[in-house]
Every structure is written in structure tokens, then in C-alpha cells.
Structure 1
Amino acid sequence: MRFRLLSALIASAALVAEAAPAAASYDYIVVGSGPGGGPLAAELARAGFSTLLIEAGGDEGENPTYADIGNFNEAANDETTRWDFWVKHSDDPAQDLKFKHTTWDTGDGTFYVGLNPPEGAKLLGIQYPRAAVLGGCAMHNAGVCSMPADDDWDIIAKKTGDKSWSAANMRKYFKKIEKNEYLPAGDAAHGYDGWLATSVADNSWAKNDSLPGTKILKKLAELTGQDPNDAANLVNRDINQAGKKVDETTSFYNMVTHANNKGKRSSPNNYIRATLADPAKYPLTVKLHTLVTRVVFDNATLKAGSTPRAIGVEVMEGASLYKADPKHVAGTKGPVSQILANREVIVAGGAFNSPQILKLSGIGPAAELTKFNIPVVKDLPGVGENLGDNYEGSLLALGGAPVESGLITLLFRTPNAPNKKRNIYTWCGAFSFEGFWPGFPTYHGPTQYTCAMVHMAPKSQAGSKHGDQDLQELVGGANILREAWKAAGAPVAPLDEQHPCPGGKDDKCTDAVQADYFKTQAYSHHATSTCAIGGDKDKLAVLDSKFRVRGVKGLRVVDASAFPVVPGAFPSCPTMMLSVKAAEDIIAEAKKSYL
């Protein structure tokens, strides 16, 4: 999917100011505490390196809105941590305004969401959820923890020639972080002693053949080549199992979340707090409510012919200083200072903020930096480019009665998929999920039923289109799911479809109608790849295989922006794996420097 930040660079260019002398120094400075930066900072400190972790938000680890995984919708809407990023899906304004959850600023402190804004309302765009909080977006997401396809790891190994990125090797990082709470100990594909708790739901409901949801489940089994009589067992299949043919296997699974079996969220926040509280007194320092405005370079290395070296960061201290924070007061700035890094600065701000920080620091496309009067430290044309994401869409219907059911999780291949790999991740149940806007989701009443879909391995990377193949695959998935609904039986059926085909009439629910719906109403929240790892000959590669920013020293980027392509359907756990891999690489390199 294509998204554009609305003047994000311009909005924050004014943050750069003259800095006071440095007040402190650390071996490593990590900017951002989410799935990329949080685990990395903890690992570096546990290896004995003095590490400063900088977070623009606060710590909500004890707040039930965040600590209880079931409150994820409330967490994502909470102004305590929310950053309001407004994006657009198209360069055509008329096309963009077809999105039914387009958001407007009414001018009186409220939002209008819809297609008929009041007079004088200011267009904001399409909300893209981000979180400023210790633990990052892993503190406000739904907690889905799924491995990407092996190809998503192997592509990095192929691009860089670094075999440590192979899927076979990357599994060890998942095992290192995982504290599995749903399988008997001893499964070679899982870890049981890590800091990230994983758990699954009770799917015993699937044994009750009288439930409408079970009838839908069995029909889905039939439509996707599974045994309907075994459906009650298949729903407990491990979604994170390992194997050569896993990525080609259509099956039901039990959705895994990074939460413990009591429903408490598990995230980098837990690991950071455990590291701070450990009696070993690891040298980890956390600065909250601190906004990094740029990376600082050694002036001596900025001379012609020298390789620029990062030596620290410039920060402003205070809450809600970033303009995307809904609590931000226009014109507010905090005290500015510099903090030095003896070894390296590691940026982990996420797919939007990491390239922004690099650009504000003079690293990025030279023409763009010059346009904003930012001195060029290194011309890197790939910074901020290659943005990737999953298409997401949903089918929503209202039953004649409540659809009694648990959650159905299915990974499957549509008939029009371009290869043997499964391409749709769907979950169906009595909930509503139609994208993101202030106050989402809409409650459609006790009979609501949704099948939400994430399209895996999108071809429309970085805004390009490939014959509408991605849209056709979503349509292929929708047709299968809709057919399964018909099995719900009375009094639930027939379900009254709300979208993509209102009324669900077969003669009007053409593939073209559905493709147009998904083109205008698709949404997403898995941005990646804006500081992509790549090979030496790749002109748009920002990082090498060890996360080092090309053309400078002492600077790395470790977060979802490093992935060359979107990893699977949900990037949270893959990014945590990437984080501990980065820690291993950095620690190994540091040890060599001691020799």
C-alpha cells in the first residue's frame, strides 16, 4: 500500500535548535523503546555496556488499559500515548476522499469522521496508529505474534550475502525471546525461558456443532481443502510451528498473542523494566518524555574526504513536544541538550520516525535535504523510500441473531495466488474491525460478525502496482469467506452483509465491485522498509546486513524500517527477533574491538 506522511518532515524541521554542552555520555544511545529499540537496549546493558534508552512518551506498564491485552482498542485510542499520524492512500485527492473513515478537524477540539464534514472543517486524512510509550506500538496493538514466511528472512540473506539472516538461523532469536505458555516444554521450535510470554485462547467452543460459528468453521474447512470433521482439532494447531512446507499449508490455527495465559500483555516494556529492576544492576538508563531532534556528528569528520561519525544525539526534554501528539500545545519546546555516545547511536523510532530523524540529521536524499535547508552529511537516496505495508480489509455482516462463536483463525491460499504460498491471514468472529480513526471501532450491535483479512507478501511495494494482483487476491479471499457464512443456519442466516457487498446479493457482488471497495476502503498499520537493509550494489539500500547506516560511522537503525519487505502479516514479533539479532551483532563487534 502507498502512504504519504502529510508534511511530517516540514512539521518537525523547526525542532532543530542550538544545543547546550553535553551533560552525560554512554557507550550506546538507543532512540525509541518499541519492538526494535527496547529489547536491544536491554540486551546491550545486560552485556555490560552503559546504555541510554530514550523514549518520547512515558511508562504505562502498570496501567490496565495497556497491561490487559483485552483492552487494546482502548489503548490505541488513548491520548495518553497516541500520536496522530494522518496519511493518504493516493495522489488523487478525489480517490482519497472516498475512504469512509476520512478524518477532519472541526476546529472545536473534536474530530469529524466521514464523507460529509461540517463547513470549515480541516482535512486531516486517514489515521495511522502510532504510540509514544515505553514499549512502543507493542503496548497498544492486539498482540498478535506470528512468524513471517521463511522467504521474508531469506530475501535479506540473498540481498546481502549474509547467511545469518537465513530463516533457519533466525528461528533461534524467536526461541531466545519466547516464554511459551501454550505448549508442553521441549518443542524444538519454541523457547520457554525468554522474556516474551506467548499464549493462545481456549478453542473448546469448536467442539459444539450446534453453534453458528462452528457451522461456519466447518464450511470454511470444506472450502479450503481441510477435513470438516477435524476442524475442532485443527483450530488448536500451532501457528508458529516450523517446517519446510509450513508456508504452503492452508490451515486453521490458534492465534498466538504476546500475552501471558492470564491475559497480561507481554512486551519490550516488561523486559526493560526487568532489566532496570534486576539485582545485577545492569547499566541501563531510561529517559522518558525526551524527544530526539537529530543525531550529532563529530565536526572533525564532517570535512571533505572524511567519513562522518555519529557521536551523540540532540534532545528536547518534556512531555508532548512532538506535533503528532494530540496533547501538543503549538509553539511548545523543551530544554535542548546533547548526550554523547562513546560507541554508537542506534535509531529505533519506527518506519516513520527513523527516516525522519536521519533526514533531520542530514542523512537522506540530498535534493530533499537541501530543499529544507538541512546540511547534507551523507546523500542516501533510500532514506524514507521503499515504504511497504500489508493491505487489510474486512467483510462485515449482521446476523438475524447473535453469531455464537469463538475466534476462527485461518491462513490460506486463494485460487488466484501467484505461487504455492498462502497469501491471506484471516480471523472471523463476533467483533467489528474496519480500520482506524479516532474512536474506532464502530459497534454494530450484538449480531455483528466480521472476517478481517491481512494480505501477505503484497506486490504493490513502495506505491507501485502490479496489475491489481493484490486487490484480486483480497477479492478471492472475500469470496471464500462469504460462502462460508451461508452455513451459519437459522436464526442467524442469512447474514445481512454490510460490506464489501451490501446485501450480499450474488448478482451484484461481482469481483469488480469488491475490488473497487478494497481499493478505496483498505487500511493498514504495519509500515516497514523505509531504511531498508540491502546489498552493496543496491542504490536504495540504507543499511548493511549489520544494521549500519551506509556511508557514516557509529550509527545504526534497528526497527521495522530495516526490513526490505513486509515480514508476514504482523511485524511486531519479527521486529523483536530482529532486535536481539542486532544486539548479538553489535556485542560481537564490540568484543572484537577490545582485542
Structure 2
Amino acid sequence: MSPFTEFDTIDGYEYVVVGSGAGGGLLAANLARKDHKVLLLEAGDDQGSNLNQQVPAFHFRATEDEGMCWNYYVKHYATEELVWKDSKMTPKGILYPRAGTLGGCTAHNAMITMYLYEHDWTNIAVLTGDTSWELQNMRRYFERLERCECLPHGTPGHGFTGWLGTNRADLKLALGDFKILSIITAATTAMGHKIFGLIPDSVSQLLGLLFRDLNSADPQRDMTESIYQLPLATSHGKRNGPREYLVDTAKKYPLDIKTGCLATRVLFDLNFAVGAAPKASGVEFLEGRSLYRADPRSIPSESGIRRHVRVSREVILAAGAFGTPQLLKLSGIGPKDELQKFGISVVKDMQGVGTNLQDRYEIPIVSRLSGDFTHCTFGKTGDPCLEDWDQQRGPYLSNGLPVGMVKKSTKSDADPNLFIFGGPALFRGYYPGYSELTTADKRHFTWAVLKAHTHNQDGTVRLLLADPRDVPDIDFNYFTTSPDEAENAERDLDAITEGFFFARCIMDDVLPSITGLVEEESPGRHFASADQVKDYIKNEAWGHHAWCSCPIGADGDSKAVLDSRFRVRGVSNLRVVDASIFPRILGFFIVLPIYMASEKATDVILEDNGEEE
């Protein structure tokens, strides 16, 4: 039976939430569970029964599954000369996979659920003067949302009754393949832990190291460099996230989920007093299948049915770092000159909308071995690993990335700023068809070097057209060379280069008697000097965690789109709760900070209503 409700009307709601991902999906469910009448608008459909969504190891396939993918094409640089140095460049731009489905990008991500650094929250508190963002308050939101399934009940700093199941990456992938185990052993040794070969005592020592808690509440955790199993959002061997929370909530509480509905603009009450803030009163949307042109199934001639929903309390935007600034601008909130260029009536001239776009940099080192890793065939007929997964065992219970290393570069301001993780796959970044090549053979291993807390804040999201079905123009402006930022860009580049050589050295130290010949395939050993590697990084780096395009900021900051309570400045009854809200990148991975911010937004909204948490 479908959990979704048929609609007779589209009024009578207190809240409308646009977007069902990590921010909006969670918030809509939480408000409904407090007995508020909520309408959730999602432009995609529900793919919850799709194996590419369910099976943790199929996350690569999920990003290009036409049932759920939205294909944005972005620029990394402003000039044609620079953008075409990237081998992944296409005439449309560089593929940036997003998900148009119930649950948003939590339906296709790699499920890594890593706690951020405590000072990340403190920075927001200092910036805004709002002490509720302090780390002492924020940790409780993680504990509230988590349902930890891999640690003893009561472990400090963790939650055990929340909506999000968490587990560790399954080490069966490593223990069942001596080649992978040899690579992990080399990585552990490189991190300063002495592991001698693959004798039983050494393997036991290795497991003891890997079993340590990456999301520990230990005060020393943020400063510790080590190797860990990855914490994942899985439960009973399946991906879990907002989609499951929403479906369960809609069965029991006043939540209506409307899929196939593309929000086109925020509606405002025009009867406000002179000098008063414009008041958001609802949302206009188009009802129809695959209406947004990032959807590969979109048909230009299908325009959908235009509808309105009016609400008695608030409009909450959670369309993501690309979608939210686009929707605000289409609604008349954004830089005045840009809006007037497209004939959009200005509701609020706000220069910060669609600026400050950020991402962390990632670069691969791809090696080819002389022997196969595994007998898995990734969904092809007779796949033994899929049969095992169906019985809740085997390597598909995990995301295929057995370990990750937290490392501090010599260019770090304070805490570790590199995350190096890898698995048996051929992954050079995102381009059309990449997911098929990722697991096309069984002889590649990729280390990905991720640079956290990047300094670049110069990315932009701008309108291309006033048509809400069209995608915006997205430029991340990598490694900016502006005089004010050139030094910081070089620090980012130096840090990634350091991580690159570290990962390369790991592959130099694997046991050839076990792995056979190991050949670096990408970029290749002819990239030998630091300058050559830096050129490779500048040309080939990518990201897929877009943040910060509608940031929270201080009073008086002309670029601050939101106040510390998620409210759009200068407008009433309108909030934003998604990846766009952060002033700077937080931690290594994006999803947990959004979850925690959404839990906080729940409390803030209820508090503003005069309700207890």
C-alpha cells in the first residue's frame, strides 16, 4: 500500500517544505510528529524499492540511475582555457550528480556519516553571537537523531533511539581478500602503526585499530590522526535516511508528501503595511513527472499543471545549494541587477543569494593490479554478492570503502584537514557513464584524497533563464587567483599535494607477493614532481558536496542571507534549512551537519511558536 496521500485540496497546511533531502525531509517529519499539518513538495518520485538505492555497495550506480538522478553540469573555472584542461569536461560542463527523488541526495550518497569538528559549530556561534550553536548544545542533536547499531548501548556521545541507523563499514570486504588486506595494512603502517605482514597477531592488531570510534565524543578525537572504519547510515544491510523516516511519519502523523511537484516560486502576501517585511504565504509549483531539466527523462513539451499551496505559518526551502538560491531568485529575492535582467519583480534586494558557494576538493590515485579483487559482479545476472546481501551478509552490506584515514597536512591551521579513503574501484571523478566503468573490471583500487575546510568562497549560482524548469549557471571558481585569496588557494593546493604523495607511498609499500604487480594508472608515475602533481590536481580535482550559497551570517553583513534562526533576512515567514545555510564548509562530509542543523531548526521553529521541544 502506498504511504502517500491523495489530495482533494492544497490548502489547510501550517507549513510547506520544499525538498525532501537531509534538511527538508527530516524537518518536515519532525514538525508533523509535533502534530503540525505539513505539506512536503518533492520534484522527483519515490525510488525506495530500487535496488540501486537500497544496496549500500550500489551507490555509484544510484548516482546515474535515470529513475532518480539529476544531472547538473558545472564549471570549475571561469575561463574556457582552464575548464577544458579537465579530462571530464563535456560541452555542457562537468557532471555534478544530484538526486531528484524522495530523500534527495541521501538516496544516492556513499552514506558516510562522520561527525564534524567541534570548532565548526563554535565558528557559527561566534559569527552570529548566537550561543545555541555552541558545541555543547549541538552534540545533543547528533545523539537525538542517531540509532547506533554498532556500539555498546550507552557509549558516550552516541544516540541509540533516533531515526537514523548507523553502522561501521563491514570489514568482510577486506578480510575476504588478501589484496585489499595488504593495501589496508600498508595504509595502517603509513599512519604510524606497526603492522608486520598478514600473520594472525598482526591482523588482530589491525582490527583493534580499525574498530576505534571515528565519531567518538573524546576531546582528543578532533586532533587525532589515524585509520578507521567508516561510519555509515545503514540499517539491516540497507541504506537508511530521511526517506524511511518520512514514509513512517506519513503513516501516523499529519504529513502529506506530494511527489512530482516542482516548486517555481514563493508566494507573498501583498497586503502588508508600508515599510513592513514582505510575508511569505505559500508556494507555486508545477505538478508533473520529470519537469526539471536536470532530470534526464525531462521532455521539453511537458510543462506540468500549475498549482498553489497557501499556509498559515511558514514556507521552508530545502532545495539544496543549487536549488534554493535559484528558487529565491525566481521569487524576487536576490541581487537586484540579476533579477531585473530577467524581468523578475524584486521583493528583496539581497546580494548574498547564490554567492559564497563552496565545495571541498577531491583527487584520485588509481592503481591497477595484476590480479582480480573479488567475485562480485555488481548486479549482473547471477551476482553471488547480491545473493549474499539478500541474506544480510557479504560485502554489499557496506559501501565498498573499507577504511579511511584522517591526516593533518603541514599546511593545516589546527586540526587534521585531509581524509584519504579508498576501495576496489576505478574512480576518476564524475563524467557521463562513469558508474559503469567504476566496477567494469576487478583489478583497480582507488585512493581518494579529500581536502576539508577549503578556503575558496568564490563559487556562484546564477540564473540562466527565468524559467524554473531550467538549471542555473554554476561556477565553483576553483583555486581562485584573486590577490586576496591566492595565498589560501596555494595552501589548499599544497595540502592536497601532500595527501596525494602520501597515498602514492601506500601503494609503494603493499606486498607484491600478495597483490602482484601494482601499476599507477592515473595520473601515472610521469607526474613525479610536486609541480606536476599540482597541475594534475588543478586540472582534475572535483567535488560533490556543494554548500554555503545562502549563508547564515552576522547582523549588518550584506552577504548574510539568513539569520541564526534560519530566517531569510528582510522577509517574514520564510526559512531555509539545507546545505546552503552554512557560512563555511564544516567537517569532511556534508550530510551529518545538515541533519544536525535540521534537528536544531525543528527546535527553533517550535520555540518561535512558543512550544516546548
Structure 2 Cα separation of the partners of residues 483 and 276 of structure 1: 51
Which residue in 1 is equivalent to 2:336? 366
Q: CA deviation at 1:48?
A: 1.1
Structure 1 segments unaligned to the other structure (5+ residues):
1-21, 104-122
Contact 1:413–1:420 (Cα < 8 Å) also in 2 = no
Q: Check if 1:413 corresponds to 2:407.
A: yes
Change in 2 beyond 3 A, CA 1:167/1:226: farther
DSSP-derived class of the 1:453 partner: strand
Distance change (3 Å), C-alpha of 1:415 and 1:569? closer
1:573 corresponding residue in structure 2 = 592
How far, CA to CA, are the matches of 1:453 and 1:37 in structure 2?
30
State the Cα deviation string for residues 111-160 of structure 1 (Å, max 9, x = none). Answer: xxxxxxxxxxxx11101111111110000111111111112211111111
Matched, 1:585 2:604: yes
Q: What is the match of residue 241 of structure 2?
A: 267
CA distance in 2 between counterparts of 1:375 and 1:134 reads 32
Report runs of 4+ in structure 1 exceeding 4 Å deviation. Answer: 204-208, 403-408
- Give the conservation status (yes or no) of the 8 Å contact 1:350–1:561: yes
Deviation at 1:580, TM superposition (A): 1.2
Give me the whole-angstrom Cα distance separating, in 1, the residues matched to 2:270 and 2:575: 19
Q: Is the Cα contact below 8 Å between 2:409 and 2:416 reproduced in 1?
A: no
Name which of structure 1's ranges 369-378 and 160-169 shifts more when overlaid on structure 2. 160-169
Does the Cα contact within 8 Å between 1:65 and 1:74 map onto a contact in 2? yes
Match of 1:218 in 2: 185
Letter in 2 for 1:489: L
Work out the CA distance in 2 between the residues paired with 1:362 and 1:232: 56
Aligned letter for 1:199?
N
Separation in structure 1 between the aligned mates of residue 489 and residue 357 of structure 2, nearest angstrom: 19
Partner of 2:276: 306
Question: Which residue of the partner structure matches residue 119 of structure 1?
Answer: none
Structure-2 separation of matches of 1:151 and 1:519: 29
1:30-73 C-alpha deviation (Å, 9 max, x unpaired): 00000000010011111111111110011111222212222212
Give 2:135's aligned residue: 167
Q: In the alignment, which of 63, 67, 91 is matched to residue 54 of structure 2?
A: 67
Equivalent residue, structure 2, for 1:252 = 227
Alignment of 1:145-224 (within 5 A): 145-203=113-171, 211-224=178-191
Structure 2 CA distance for aligned equivalents of residues 480 and 434 of structure 1: 18
Give the equivalent residue in structure 1 for 2:260: 289
Q: TM-score, normalised by structure 1?
A: 0.87
Alignment counterpart, residue 427 of structure 2, candidates 430, 433, 444: 433
Aligned partner of 1:558 in structure 2 is 577
2:345 is aligned to 375
Q: How much does 1:289 deviate?
A: 0.3
> What's 2:387 paired with?
none
In the other structure, the counterpart of 1:101 is 88
1:167-206 deviation per Cα after TM superposition (whole angstroms, max 9, x unaligned): 2211111111111111010112111111111111333676
- Write the letter of the residue equivalent to 2:405: L
Higher mean displacement: 210-219 or 243-252: 210-219
Amino acid at match of 1:471: L
Q: Deviations over 1:266-314 (max 9, x none)?
A: 1100110111122xxx11111110111000001112x652210000011
**In the aligned structure 2, how far is the partner of 1:295 from the partner of 1:268?**
24
Matched with 1:354 is: 324
Paired residue type of 1:198: T
In structure 2, how many angstroms separate the alpha carbons of the residues matched to 1:96 and 1:206?
Answer: 38
Give CA-to-partner distance per residue, 1:228-255, whole Å, 9 cap, x none: 3543311121111112221211011110
Tell me the distance in 2 between the aligned counterparts of 1:372 and 1:523.
Answer: 31
Gaps of 5+ in 2: 1-8, 196-201, 375-394, 459-476, 481-485
Confirm or deny that 1:537 pairs with 2:560.
Answer: no
* Counterpart in the other structure of 1:327: 297
Q: Which residue of 2 aligns with 1:478?
A: 500
Aligned residue among 509, 530, 550 for 1:487: 509
Contact 2:224 2:416 in 1 (8 A): yes
User: How far apart, CA to CA, are the structure 1 residues paired with 2:297 and 2:174?
Assistant: 45
SS of the aligned residue for 1:468 comes to: helix
* CA RMSD, Structure 1 to Structure 2 (Å): 2.0
Distance (whole Å) between structure 2 residues aligned to residue 412 and residue 327 of structure 1: 40
Identity %: 38
Which one of the candidate residues 434, 456, 462 is aligned to 1:460? 456
Q: CA deviation at 1:399?
A: 1.6
| Matches of 1:131 and 1:183, distance apart in 2 | 31
Q: Which amino acid aligns with 1:31?
A: V
Per-residue CA deviation, residues 62-115 of structure 1 (Å, 9 max, x unaligned), is 222212222212211111121111101111212111211223xxxxxxxxxxxx
Other-structure match for 2:567: 548
One-letter code of the match for 1:398?
A: R
Offset at 1:403?
5.4
Moved more, 550-559 or 170-179: 170-179
- Relative to structure 1, the CA distance from residue 285 to residue 407 in structure 2 (aligned partners, 3 Å threshold; closer, same or farther) is closer
How many residues align? The count is 543
- Counterpart contact for 1:39–1:271, Cα < 8 Å: yes
Letter in 1 for 2:111: G
Aligned to 2:209: 234
C-alpha separation in 2, matches of 1:69 and 1:408 = 12
The 3-state SS of whatever aligns with 1:75 is: helix
Offset, 1:212: 3.9
Aligned residue for 1:253, secondary structure, equals strand
The letter for the 2-side match of 1:166 is: E
Per-residue deviation, 1:592: 5.7
Identify which of 128, 135, 144 aligns with 2:96. Answer: 128
CA distance in 2, matches of 1:592, 1:276: 22
Contact between 1:70 and 1:263, CA under 8 Å: does it hold in 2?
Answer: no
SS for the counterpart of 1:435 is coil
The equivalent of 1:92 in structure 2 is 79
Given the superposition, is the C-alpha separation of residues 373 and 67 from structure 1 closer, same or farther in structure 2, using an over 3 Å criterion?
same
SS at match of 1:591: coil
Distance 1:259 1:223 in 2: 29
Question: One-letter code of the match for 2:445?
Answer: Y
Residue of 477, 497, 517 corresponding to 2:520:
497
